[in-house]
Amino acid sequence: MRKPRPPAGDQKLIQIVDAALADATRRSGPWLVCRPGCTQCCLGVFAINQLDVLRLQKGLAQVRKKDPAKAEAIRVRVQESASRLASTFPGDPRTGVLAEDEESTGQFENFANHEVCPVLDPTTGLCDLYESRPLTCRTFGPPVRSEDGLGVCELCYQGASDEEIAACEMEVHPDNLENKLLEEIESRTGSRGQTIICFALRD
């Protein structure tokens, strides 16, 4: 059965986010030390939404066509990661959907913090699905504002003052586009909830 594809508006969302990243990178200069092969942001699981899921699945399908050996290596790492995490997953390991109750949410904060992302090539230190990566991956590194304040990668902005960090803030204004696209996906596929990468790509 053919898997659903990301909605047409997803490409616009990616362009907005990538443009914001490029602008923050320009303003950050040498303080932003993110480089190919740096894998700080590839350790530990994080929640992804159904839009991220479809984008990743589409990316893997493209890799299967272009480079079957690479796709098989990803598949093996995905299956191994899912097997390691299933027994303690704070949700339904059958569907891969995270539970949303308070206890499960608290458990997820300390869940699999040292698990390596299964789409990271352990030999090259590069993401095998880089062009299809989730939005969280696209915004990691530069200062990004959340309810907890302005957060940055711990390897970046060494020696920068709070004011200098704030001046490099990554500002994304997609006009609620992501939520609109998620509503479209839910309506079209019935898929809801958040998951993690290994379950999103599991056979």
- List of residues 6+ apart from 144 with CB closer than 8 A: 150, 151, 152, 169, 170
pLDDT of residue 173: 74
pLDDT of residue 10: 95
Report the chain (203 residues): mean pLDDT per 10 consecutive residues: 82 94 95 91 96 97 97 98 97 96 95 97 96 94 88 92 95 84 91 96 93
- List of residues 6+ apart from 34 with CB closer than 8 A: 41, 140, 141, 153, 156
pTM value is 0.92
Strands (E), 62-181: 91-92, 97-98, 144-146, 149-151
Q: How many CB atoms lie within 10 A of CB 160?
A: 19
- List of residues 6+ apart from 84 with CB closer than 8 A: 115
pLDDT of residue 2: 62
CA–CA dist 58, 188 (Å, integer): 16
